Amino acid sequence: MNQDWEDRVAGAWASFDDYAEEGAADFRAVIDTLVAELPDDSPLGPFEQACAWDSTGHSDNAVPLYREALARGLTGYKGRRAKIQMSSSLRNIGLAEEGVKLLTPELDAPSDELDDAVRATLALCLSSLGRDREGLSLVLGALAPHLPRYQRSMANYARELLEPGD
């Protein structure tokens, strides 16, 4: 889509907090109006609608829309966002294992600013499955580079959490 449309979507999201809980349907209607401007087969439509459902507390409605966006070919940065957000929603509706399967390949994807969000969301999915040590290892590994000191120690501790016999 064009930059004007992207700017209007960004503006809608910037006003999200103005809607509060009682205005959730109104916010989703704003997004739906913007989506109606897109070609019928655009992956951006279901992605933006999924985000709106998700952000207004309806993970169950968001998951099918994320699936549709990805099936229509949503890739790149927004595709990665869709995978992160869908994994979180899957966890919220009791399908954490599916979230793990969706996000695990993202650990080997080209690095970007979403790397830590991938690890944090994957850690939550793992924890929901009782795999807390794996989740903690991911979180420590993501945190280590941001620390002013102890990066090497924390990275080593993260690896040790997964080693047999620890």
Q: What is the pLDDT of residues 4-26, one digit of tens each?
A: 999 999 999 999 998 877 899 99
Provide Rg for the chain, Cα atoms: 18
Q: How confident is the model at residue 162 (pLDDT cuts 50, 70, 90)?
A: confident
Contact 129, 110 (CB under 8 A): no
Tokens of 45: 């439509």
Contact 30, 18 (CB under 8 A): no
Check whether domain 3-130 has CATH 3.30.200.20, yes or no: no
- Burial environment of residue 119 by CB neighbours within 10 A (0 to 12, 13 to 18, 19 or more): buried
Phi-psi region of 102 (alpha: psi -120 to 50; beta: other; left: phi over 0): alpha
Residues 49-60 pLDDT 10s: 999 999 999 999
Q: What is the pTM of this model?
A: 0.91
Q: Is the pLDDT of residue 110 over 70?
A: yes
